[in-house]
Amino acid sequence: MTLPKLALISTDPAQAQADAVIIGTMPDGDGVRLAPGGEAVDTAFGGGLVEVLNTLGATGKTDEVVKVPTLGRLPAGLVVAAGLDQPGQAGTVSAEQVRRASGAAARSLAGTARAVTVLSTVDLQAAVEGTALGAYTFDGYKSGSRDTPLARVDLASPDTGTAREHRTTLKAAIAIAEAVATARDLINTPPNDLYPASFAERARALGTAAGLEVEVLDEKALRRAGYGGVLGVGGGSVRQPRVVRMRYRGPKARRKVALIGKGITFDTGGISIKPASHMEEMSSDMSGAAAIVATAVLAAKLKYPLEVVATVPMAENMPSGTAYRPGDVLTMYGGKTVEVLNTDAEGRLILADAIVRAGEDEPDYLVETSTLTGAQIVSLGRRTAGIMGSDELRDRVAAIAKATGEGGWPMPLPEELRADLDSKLADIANITGHRWGSMLAAGLFLREFVPQGLPWVHIDVAGPAFNSGSPWGYTGKGGTGVPVRTLAALLADIAENG
Ligand code: BES
Ligand code: MN
Ligand code: ZN
């Protein structure tokens, strides 16, 4: 991971020693107007900056970046004008607007050493997150010369609040951006280097460094304890499965939260093999696990007054002579039996084991996230997570996902689909045998393993976790780190409100 160094400044941003000054623009008539914070830069242009931008055809819309050479009017050689788009009804610009504009500006500055931004005067936390995540690069696998990453960004201090408050906000925002970047790094690491054992060791190293208790169950420990789902799915690979348990005990913890994430380090589909086209993207099938590991570490860094216990099942889903087959019946952790009708519906099998194990800790909330179904992408697109679970927690998480800008929508668990999971042979089958509502059927399958009455939520991030399209806002190609910010905001909310 490379993230820029971020520091607050209280001097005039227009006079800062930097290569570029980042300002915000908003649509105004046929052209733009400047967002707050841009005044000093405009003064250096003799009040003509809007005219320059309009001449260049600027619109102020989302993801627009217009660069203007300063020709010696400022110490910086470039003004980078990033579109915030129209403010909301109350006339205010949202955090997500600042995050996206900051991200687009940072992306456009790859190869530039040093920038200064005034978007931080609109929303400091959002500017930090957007700038850091937009500047994120992952190029450790290139042997040739690499682009210089944006190395340093100075942030103009907001007019309101104290310097001390600004420092606290900066620190927290950097920690959140680092957690997202950690998840992205894990997702972007290719599957020949990130497999269950190596993923578990990376989780151990990250957790231990942050002061968490970490336990790694290897295949022998999994067999002894009867993790039939994880062992069944992982049995086709020479790279044996793992379950990682990470525990953070916060100060004055009054609530215990169980976190669970799907860690399929590569999903070929197994014997029910997937088509070749785009199969390489299934190296991101551990995005849920990456988000959970990063969030558990973040909880310790931000010292949330909570107990957080992460249970992270990791396996590689491969076809081979030792692979599980359609027709097999697996005995899951805790004793329930599952008839496997499709080995490509593997995520729910490793998650079932993890959910039962997590339930034994008697948490107050159970939060699970996974790249679980292609149907999530069919129903909600590539940027909106499907959120299922018990009514209250589901709606709470959906509201938080929306507020963080990561995006998510509450989805139902229709009772009539549960009957379609009935098995003649075992307690339940892993698929319904038809394609209708299969995101919801997967949620219903998971529900079978959640202890009665425990508030729980299932966040299907099959689309949002990985960007195979063009970069946008603060999201580059590859792993996005979704839903780390939603999980962090949920933990903060539980710490505050129970
Ligand atoms: N990992 C996939 C889901 C997925 C698909 C994630 C596309 C990201 C992008 C999952 O294991 C899977 O294969 N699901 C099947 C389930 C089906 C066999 C019931 C699916 O969605 O097609
Ligand atoms: Mn699959
Ligand atoms: Zn999968």
Distance of alpha carbon 104 from alpha carbon 476, whole angstroms: 10
How far lies 381's CA from each of 146, 305, 374, in Å?
33, 35, 10
Mutation pick for ligand 1 pocket among 278, 338, 344, 351 (CB with most ligand atoms within 8 Å): 344
Ranges under pLDDT 70 in the chain? none
| Residue nearest (by alpha carbon) to ligand 1 atom 14 | 373
- Non-local (6+) Cβ contacts of 328 within 8 A are 232, 339, 340
| Residue nearest (by alpha carbon) to ligand 1 atom 22 | 374
Per-residue pLDDT at 458: 99
CA of 267 to the centre of ligand 1 (A): 9
Q: Which residue of the set 274, 382, 418, 447 is catalytic?
A: 274
Q: H/E element holding 214?
A: strand 213-217
Per-residue pLDDT at 146: 73
The region, left, alpha or beta by phi > 0 then psi within -120 to 50, assigned to residue 59 is alpha
Per-residue pLDDT at 145: 73
Domain 5-160 has CATH 3.30.420.40: no
Question: Domain residue spans in the chain?
Answer: 5-160, 183-497
| Ligand 1 atom with least separation from CA of 465 | 8
CA of 107 to the centre of ligand 2 (A): 33
| Residue nearest (by alpha carbon) to ligand 1 atom 6 | 462
Any idea of the CA torsion for 371, 377, 380, 381, to the nearest 10 degrees? 120
> What is the maximum alpha-carbon separation in the chain?
80
What fold is seen in the domain 183-497?
A: Aminopeptidase (3.40.630)
Distance of CA 53 to the CA centre of its chain: 34
Ligand in nearest proximity to the CA of 460: 1
- Non-local (6+) Cβ contacts of 293 within 8 A are 182, 183, 186, 202, 203, 206, 207, 244, 246, 261, 310, 312
Per-residue pLDDT at 134: 98
CA of 22 to the centre of ligand 3 (A): 40
- Determine whether 274 is an active site residue: yes
| Residue nearest (by alpha carbon) to ligand 1 atom 3 | 373
Report helix, strand or coil for 88.
Answer: coil
Distance of CA 473 to the CA centre of its chain: 14
CA of 474 to the centre of ligand 2 (A): 28
Cβ atoms within 10 Å, residue 148: 12
Strand partners, 476: none
DSSP letter assigned to residue 436: T
| Ligand 1 atom with least separation from CA of 342 | 18
| Residue nearest (by alpha carbon) to ligand 1 atom 5 | 374
| Ligand 1 atom with least separation from CA of 272 | 18
Distance of CA 409 to the CA centre of its chain: 16
Q: Which residue of the set 348, 357, 394, 485 is catalytic?
A: 348
pLDDT tens digits along 2-59: 899 999 999 999 999 999 999 999 999 999 999 999 999 999 999 999 999 999 999 9
Contact 485, 406 (CB under 8 A): yes
Residues with a CB atom less than 6 Å from ligand 1: 267, 285, 342, 344-347, 371, 373-375, 431, 438, 462
Per-residue pLDDT at 79: 98
| Ligand 1 atom with least separation from CA of 267 | 1
Give per-residue burial for 246-271: e unless 16+ CB within 10 Å, then b: bbbebeeeebbbbbbbbbbbbbbbbb
CA of 248 to the centre of ligand 3 (A): 28
Mutation pick for ligand 1 pocket among 373, 431, 435, 467 (CB with most ligand atoms within 8 Å): 373
Distance of alpha carbon 341 from alpha carbon 434, whole angstroms: 12
Ligand in nearest proximity to the CA of 342: 1
Distance of alpha carbon 246 from alpha carbon 289, whole angstroms: 12
Q: Is the dihedral of CA 281, 282, 288, 294 positive or negative?
A: negative
Ligand in nearest proximity to the CA of 264: 3
CA of 282 to the centre of ligand 1 (A): 9
- Non-local (6+) Cβ contacts of 45 within 8 A are 52, 70, 73, 79
- Nearest by Cα to 390 from 351, 352, 447, 310: 447
| Residue nearest (by alpha carbon) to ligand 1 atom 17 | 345
pLDDT tens digits along 358-404: 999 999 999 999 999 999 999 999 999 999 999 999 999 999 999 99
Strand partners, 175: none
Per-residue pLDDT at 457: 99
How far lies 425's CA from each of 375, 406, 430, in Å?
26, 41, 12
CA of 135 to the centre of ligand 3 (A): 29
- Determine whether 424 is an active site residue: no
Pairing of β 337-339 and β 428-429: parallel
**Runs of H (alpha helix) within 304-373:** 347-359
CA of 344 to the centre of ligand 3 (A): 7
Ligand in nearest proximity to the CA of 373: 1
| Residue nearest (by alpha carbon) to ligand 1 atom 19 | 345
Per-residue pLDDT at 245: 99
